[in-house]
Amino acid sequence: MTTAPAAKPPSARGAPEAMAQAPDGLAPAFGFLELSALLGHEQTLPGYLAQLTEEIRQDGELRRPIIVDRHSLVILDGHHRAAALRELGCSLIPTYLVDYGDPAITVEPNRPDIPVSKESVVWTGLSGRPYPPKTSRHVLPELPGRPTPLETLRG
């Protein structure tokens, strides 16, 4: 898979077309997206967000990209990382775009009181009425970390 270099984000940073495309159409594509283009399907936990924001600030980098559905731009994994980067003044975020229709990706409820499905995750993200924090858990093949300096993400 072709990858975008960490030091030079693609010029069309808000569009999925700017991502490095995988040849089979299902494999994750890595690149940088505008934080403002992404939709969350879950709220964040204030205490954990503050802790993570400080950790990222001290490290000077984001270690793991978030995971986003390439069709809807709904965040599947990484709500707290995205919110932390916003608080740190970043406009870009390292992202793996995945095809959420891929059967290798599943979603499980993290809470017994709220059922989730792939369809409800996307609908919730698109509706602007997110689930409570940590409602869903996505299971997908392991993706490598790609440490990225905060300077790169401040656009």
Assigned token pair, 48: 């954990």
pLDDT category of residue 25 using cuts at 50, 70 and 90: low
The pair of structure tokens assigned to 109 is 């409820």
Q: What is the pLDDT of residues 61-94, one digit of tens each?
A: 999 999 999 999 999 999 999 999 999 999 999 9
Instruction: State which CATH number among 3.40.50.300, 3.40.50.720, 3.90.1530.10, 3.30.56.10 fits the domain covering 16-150.
Output: 3.90.1530.10
Residue 42: active-site member: yes
3-class secondary structure per residue, 8-20 = CCCCCCCCHHHCC
The Cα–Cα gap between 67 and 114 comes to: 22
What's the token pair of residue 138? 């996505």
In single-letter form, the type of residue at position 94 comes to P
Confidence class for position 6, pLDDT limits 50, 70, 90? very low
The residue ranges of every structural domain in the chain are 16-150
Which residue in the list 17, 34, 42, 55 is annotated as catalytic?
A: 42
Please say if the pLDDT value at position 120 is more than 50: yes
pLDDT > 70 in the chain, percent: 83
pLDDT higher than 80, residue 99: yes
